[in-house]
Amino acid sequence: MAELRRRGPAALPPGERLTGGFLHDVRRVVLADGSRVVVKRIGRRSDASGARRFRLGESVARAALRSSVPAVPAYFIEAGDPVLRVGDTELLIYPNIPGTVLSTAEHAIDPALCRRAGELLFRIHRMRLPGRPFVAAGETPLWDTTVDVPWARLIRALRRRTGSRLTAADATLLTHWSEAYAAVLPRLSQRVSVGHGDLAPRNVIVHEQGDAVIDWEHAGLTEPWTELAVLALDWSSNARGRLHGPAFRAALHGYVRNGSAGPPDADALVGRAGRLLAWSLYNAQLALRDVSGPHLERVETTVQLLHVQAESMVELTEWFIQVP
């Protein structure tokens, strides 16, 4: 630890770069004593609350572990703080969990795994936590509306500055989803529970003893049916967003069969679109400032997902409200 403080992150071995980590550098590192840990170097964030956001997420992960959810929280490095600040760098250090990180790009979509994912999410939503930590972090259960975003102008700017392939038809789609999300947001916001925030296949490790849930950065308040819609689509879609119906229904069944309160709300599917809109806007703004980064590809991929969802909404809605 003293060497790390003196030399900064350079004191750590280079390590093995791990998959995931859209915003951060994540590596598996072998320490001098032969033990393995996972080190996450927190990337630059859009506001000054990054470390506070991570502390909240880690507090949820520890509460989840106490509630028998197989969470993997970061180590407390000193004074009960999971965030280690070294100069201008902030680090989190996690246990290394041997196993397989799931990815729909690399593994066949498996309804049995989707059912387990739905069960995991229900167990997280069942948790009870005091409200004070969430208020302190300024946490809200859903994403801001994008109804006032000038999508057509934004796409024209992307085409001019980055060579984007997005079109006026894409701007029309984004405007449609923005209006739909703004219409359902007040009602969706009335339901709140504790959630993981990103329970995608890349954040679940399958190992000999079962599952391990990692990356609690976005944990906090959530609208439960919307998080279920996000999970069901993430786990049952391929890399191009094409849906596997039995897997989608299995994820819903894994959640609902554990005793959820009331029938699923199909407006949550529009809530999922709200998340994709927020991610598109965030990356579009970054792409205009940094044309060499991965941001434009993320925008175009996310817009494709919104197209697929629009084409599938009739059957998605039927499956969502008819889940046994």
Last residue of one domain, picked from the residues 96, 111, 145: 96
Residues 144 and 72 in one domain: no
Query: Between the ranges 136-145, 167-176, 261-270, where is the mean pLDDT highest?
Result: 167-176
The pLDDT of residue 158? 97
pLDDT at 245 over 90: yes
- Distance CA(94)–CA(42), nearest Å, equals 13
- Domain limits for position 66: 2-96
Mean pLDDT of the chain: 87
Tell which wins on pLDDT, 184 or 99. Answer: 184
Residues 116 and 91 in one domain: no
Output the six-digit token pair for 44. Answer: 């630059």
- Give the model's confidence band at 106: pLDDT under 50 very low, under 70 low, under 90 confident, else very high: low
- Distance CA(3)–CA(12), nearest Å, equals 9
Output the six-digit token pair for 86. Answer: 């070294």
**What's the predicted TM-score (pTM) here?**
0.90
- Give phi and psi for 278, each to the nearest 5: -65, -40
The pLDDT of residue 240? 77
Closest by Cα among 151, 144, 141, 223 to 182: 144
- Distance CA(274)–CA(182), nearest Å, equals 8
Using an 8 Å Cβ cutoff, are 253 and 118 in contact?
yes
- Give the model's confidence band at 136: pLDDT under 50 very low, under 70 low, under 90 confident, else very high: very low
Q: Which residue intervals of 76-150 are DSSP H helices?
A: 111-125, 132-136
> At 214, which CATH number?
3.90.1200.10
DSSP state, residue 243? B
Residue 158: partners with Cβ closer than 8 Å, 6 or more residues away: 164, 166, 284, 287, 288, 296, 299
Residues 143 and 61 in one domain: no
Residues 75 and 127 in one domain: no
Residue written as tokens 């009870």?
128
Residues 6 and 130 in one domain: no
The pLDDT of residue 46? 42
Torsion of CA 111, 206, 100, 272, to 10 degrees: 50
The pLDDT of residue 12? 74
**Which pairing describes strands 100-101 and 36-41: parallel, antiparallel, or unpaired?**
unpaired
Full 3-state SS string of 218-271: CCEEECHHHHHHHHHHHHHECCCCCECHHHHHHHHHHHHCCCCCCCCCCHHHHH
Residues 11 and 157 in one domain: no
Total number of domains in the chain: 2
Coil, strand, or helix at residue 16? strand
Output the six-digit token pair for 84. Answer: 């280690």
Last residue of one domain, picked from the residues 76, 96, 116: 96
Amino acid at 173: L
> At 61, which CATH number?
3.30.200.20
- Distance CA(264)–CA(272), nearest Å, equals 14
**Candidate from 188-192, 238-242, 264-268, 308-312 with smallest mean pLDDT:** 238-242
Residues 73 and 194 in one domain: no
Residues 135 and 215 in one domain: yes
Cα-to-chain-centroid distance, residue 285: 19
pLDDT at 264 over 90: no
Residues 189 and 248 in one domain: yes
Average pLDDT value for residue range 194-205: 93
Residues 302 and 209 in one domain: yes
Residues 148 and 51 in one domain: no
Last residue of one domain, picked from the residues 78, 96, 114: 96
Tell which wins on pLDDT, 44 or 217. Answer: 217
Closest by Cα among 185, 201, 196 to 247: 201
Average pLDDT value for residue range 122-137: 71
Residues 136 and 270 in one domain: yes
Average pLDDT value for residue range 98-122: 84
pLDDT at 293 over 90: no
> Tell me: the pLDDT tens digits for 310-324?
999 999 999 998 876
